[in-house]
Each structure stands twice: as C-alpha cells, then as structure tokens.
Chains A and B, each alone.
Chain A
Amino acid sequence: MTSTSSGRYEQLLKDYQTEYRPQREWSEGRGFYLIVGHFLVGVAAGAWLFGLFFQDLISLLAGFVLAGLGGLAHLANLARPERFILMMLRTATSWVSRGFWGLTLFLVGSVIYLPSLMFTDTFWQSDSVIASAGVAISIAGSIIMMAYMGFVYTASKAIPFWNSTLHPVLYISYALRGGAAAYLLSLAFQGEAVAGGSDILVFWIAVTATVIVLWLFEIQGALTSGEEAAVRSVHDILAGRLALYFYVGILLIGLFVPVFLMAGIIAPLSPTLFAIIGLSSVAGDFFMKFSSIKAGIFMPVRLQSGNTRRATRRRKI
C-alpha cells in the first residue's frame, strides 16, 4: 500500500498550484516509454520504406526490429497493458487506435515479406503474390505509423503547443529523416557508404531542411497563437528547462555534427563517418521528439478576462 507521501502525489499537488502545469503524463514515469515508442516507431517506418526502395535487407530488418521494440514501448506506456487488444476498437475517431492498427499491419506485412528475402528456399519467393501482399500491407502500416503520432498530439486539445496542424507533417518528416539515417547506418555496416551514400546524403539534407522549416513555422504559430501556454512551451525549449536538450541534443548532435561531417571538413567520407552521421541524426531526432513532448503545458482553466471584468463592474454598481 502506498501512502500519500509518494513523490508523484506531491508533484501532482504542486502542479495543481501552478497556473501553467507541465504535462507529465506522456513524458515521466511510464510516460517516458511513449516518447521512446514514438521515436522507435518513426525510425522503423522510415527505415522500412528506405529498405523497400533500395532493396536493402538490413534496413528492412532494422525497421522490423525497431517497430517491435516500439510496440513494446507503447505497451509499457499503458497503465493496463493486459487490455491492449481493446485499442483496436475505436478507429473511427481515435488516432491512438489507428496507430495501433498501423503498427499491427506493419508487423504482419513485414512478417509475411521478410522470410521471402531471408529464406529463399524455404518460403515463398520475394516476387510472389504473398510477398507482394506483405509489402502492400507493410507500406500501408508504415504510412499510418508515420502519420498517426502527429495527429495524436494535435488531438490533445489541452496542450496548445501541440495543437498545430503542421505536427503530422513534421512527424512524417522526422520518420523519413530517421529512415535516411538508418539506411546510412546500414550502408556503413556493409562498407558501401561512399559508393551508395551520396544520394541518400542529398535526401537527408533535403528532409532536414524541411524539418527545420516546418519546425520554425510551428514555433511561429505557437508564438502568435495567443495561447500563453504555447508561448511558455516555446520558451521552455529555447531558454528554459529544455534548452540543454535543444542546443546540445537537437542543434549540436542532430544538426551541426552531421552537416560538419558531410562537408568533409574533418576527414573524407568513409563508412565510419557515415555511421556517425546516421547515429547523430537519429539521436537528434530523439531529442527533438523528447523536447517537444516534454514541453507540453496544459492550458490554464480559468475565467476569461472579459467575464471577470464584467463581474467587477457589477459589484461596484
């Protein structure tokens, strides 16, 4: 039996005494697993699509394993994980439910397709109808996986910083950036980085530029939304409790290090360098998701100033 003196309870009471209450549901305690889950699932979907496009088995396997781990992280986020199957019930309105279906489709499709590549003599051929069906199912699943996360945040009406219509596009861009990074790692692992990696580097630069532009629009939207909670979220990221993650994790590790290495300033491009670029890009994506989720602040529940003014005026009369 736990008493009221537990840290979480004290924290809750403290939070309720502040006007701008940071969300902890999806970032602390078991909520941290959701950040991990969203990160892994995004990279998995991107890696799978790149693997299919370039017919790269390592990327495909990485996508499958990461999606499985992401699914487990999602389960760990639930307070009642034993009831997870019920999450399939509300696809009509719930993006969490749709995401669950996306992950399920992805895993089913990849389980159908991967054996055709790995065990050519044992199972069906990679150009068979069954394998093609697996590919189609997995692509549908990975597209849902990439998109659903952004919609989940957008649907969270209590957190003004997340109420951006750009969020889904941003999360799709993260997933593609993660996929490009995973493919770079795969090439580095195979020692083919220099030969096959230049195209992917160009793609990485393009998608990173897209992420930066979208992110700037999102910040601008938050600052001009008229929602003080959203402004505080931006402040937390740029100059507050999350600034370290932003400047070191996102900008330095996730952006400057890869760009610096790509420019070939330290050393000529090599598999090792490509691996470092891939890893730092993925790490930057994690910090990006971590800080934007952690920066969520609940909109305050209060009387609007018009109502209070009207009340004051009546009292004087």
Chain B
Amino acid sequence: MRWGMVIDLKRCIGCYGCQLSCKAENGTPPGVFFARVHKQEEGQYPTAQTTFLPVLCNHCDDPPCVDVCPTGASFVWEDDGIVDIDADKCVGCRSCMLACPYSQRFLNDEPRNYYGEQGATPYEEARVQRHQTGVVMKCNFCRDRVRNGQDPACVENCPTIARYFGDLDDPKSEVSRLIRERSGFPLHPEKGTNPNVYYLPA
C-alpha cells in the first residue's frame, strides 16, 4: 500500500479551506503549515492568470529529508509509505528542511500563540501545546485519521472536492485512475524524489 493524494487544479478555488482545516485538525502553531496554498500569477494584462497551487508534504518514495536526517527522526512507515517524524528523536538540526525540494518542513522553534499578549486560548492549550518545541514538524497525511478509515482533514474539508486520497499501488483506485486519465503530474520530478502527491491540470 502506498497512500497518495491527487489535487485537481481545475477545481481548486484558492479558498484556503485545506490550510485552515489542517490547522484545526493538527493544531499547528503559528509559523507551521502542513498544508499551504500558493498563488502563482503568470502572464501580463490582459492575459494574466492566477493559478492556485495547494502544497503539502509529497510523501516521496525517495525522500531526501529522510536520507539526511542524522538521528532517524524522519522515517517512512513501511506499511503505507507515509513520511513521518518521530519528535522524540529530532535534534532540530534542520537538515531536512534544506533537503526538502517542496519546503514542507517547519521548525517549531519556540512556544507561540495566535493572540499575542492574551496568551494561549483553551483551544491552543489543548492542541498547539501538545507539540514539542525545538523540533521539525510536517504533514503526515493525518495518519491517525487514515488508520481509522477517514480521509485526511484537508481532503475531507475541501468544499470543491479538489482533493482525492487513496492507494497509488492499486491501479483501480480513484487516485490512480485520475492520474492515468487526466495526465496527473507531480511537482519537480527532476529532483528524483518520486512524490506521491499528484496534480491534475487546470
């Protein structure tokens, strides 16, 4: 089994719903974004166009972040191919952040909250504070949800159903079919990381 995601750029409206639902699900502190939406503008008036590019960890088959990690904190789950971080092993050397071609790793370097001098809200106490500081964080495809038979939060909450999640090893899965039929492509294949997040052209 190899979990993967397909993002349909034709359906994405750049609402940042994935980013927000990810934050709500994972309680990521300020400065840590497991899911982001890039706005990419091309061309010039009057033919300019804006493309929204949702990005997240690509859970590569050959993840350079895992190779460079000196402690084994970054690792790949053998049973499903998800790239994850064992926070208890991370020394915060940040090698993985510089190895990831997709810039999808973030250092949670100090305790932060969203409301300044007011201090942490009860929600933040419950969700944000559970994360260790001084360690690198990243998306793990909401592995706990996936193991319980649910889709990742960003997939479940996308209002335009632009995200699909499934087993890339299964040729009959929806993700495999979409990639095959609609010419799905990964980001930066030239880096040789063999990503498991694919995009469908707009």
Contact = CB atoms under 8 A, between A and B. Distances in A.
A69 B183 CA distance: 54
A267 interface: no
B201 A79 contact: no
Interface string A92-128: 0111110010000000000000000000000000000
A23 B38 contact: no
Interface in B81-115: 89-95, 97-103, 107, 109-115
Interface stretch (B66-74, B151-159, B162-170): B66-74
Given A94-B67, A97-B70, A299-B101, A315 B93 contact: no
Nearest to B42: A308
B13 to A, nearest CB: 15
A157 B100 contact: yes
A1 B70 contact: no
Contact of A90 (B31, B70, B120): B70
A31 B92 CA distance: 11
A310 B116 contact: no
A87 to B, nearest CB: 4
A86 interface: yes
A204 to B, nearest CB: 32
B91 A81 contact: yes
A26 B109 contact: no
Given A87-B91, A299-B188, A312-B49, A155 B31 contact: no
A295 B66 CA distance: 24
A79 B71 contact: no
Interface string B27-56: 000110000101010100000010101010
A80 B134 contact: yes
A9 B70 contact: no
A3 B112 contact: yes
Contact of A89 (B71, B117, B187): B71
A13 B185 CA distance: 28
Contacts of A315: 202
Contacts of B109: 8, 29, 79
A304 B101 CA distance: 14
A4 B134 contact: no
Given A4-B113, A81-B91, A301-B53, A157 B201 contact: no
A80 B70 contact: no
Contact of B116 (A5, A84, A299): A5
A94 B70 contact: yes
Contact of B91 (A2, A9, A12, A78): A78
Contacts of A100: 70
Interface string A1-24: 111111011001100100001010
A156 B68 contact: yes
Nearest to A96: B70
Among the interface residues A81, A86, A152, A301, which one has the most CB atoms of the partner chain B within 10 A?
A301
A30 B97 CA distance: 15
Contacts of B115: 3-4
Given A5-B116, A90-B69, A314 B201 contact: yes
B9 interface: yes
B155 to A, nearest CB: 20
B103 A298 contact: yes
Contacts of A21: 103
Given A78-B91, A79-B134, A83-B89, A303 B53 contact: yes
B107 A25 contact: yes
B89 A156 contact: no
Contacts of A314: 201-202
B33 to A, nearest CB: 8
B71 A90 contact: yes
Contacts of A13: 31
The 5 A-B residue pairs whose C-beta atoms are closest, nearest first, are: A79-B92, A79-B134, A3-B116, A97-B70, A311-B202
Given A80-B134, A303-B187, 10 more contacts: A1-B111, A1-B113, A2-B111, A4-B31, A90-B71, A95-B68, A157-B99, A158-B100, A299-B101, A302-B38
18 contacts: A6-B110, A9-B30, A26-B98, A78-B92, A80-B90, A80-B92, A80-B134, A81-B91, A83-B90, A87-B70, A93-B67, A156-B68, A158-B102, A296-B98, A301-B55, A301-B102, A303-B40, A314-B202
Interface of B: 9-10, 30-31, 36, 38, 40, 42, 49, 51, 53, 55, 64, 66-73, 89-95, 97-103, 107, 109-117, 119-120, 133-135, 185, 187-188, 191, 193, 199, 201-202
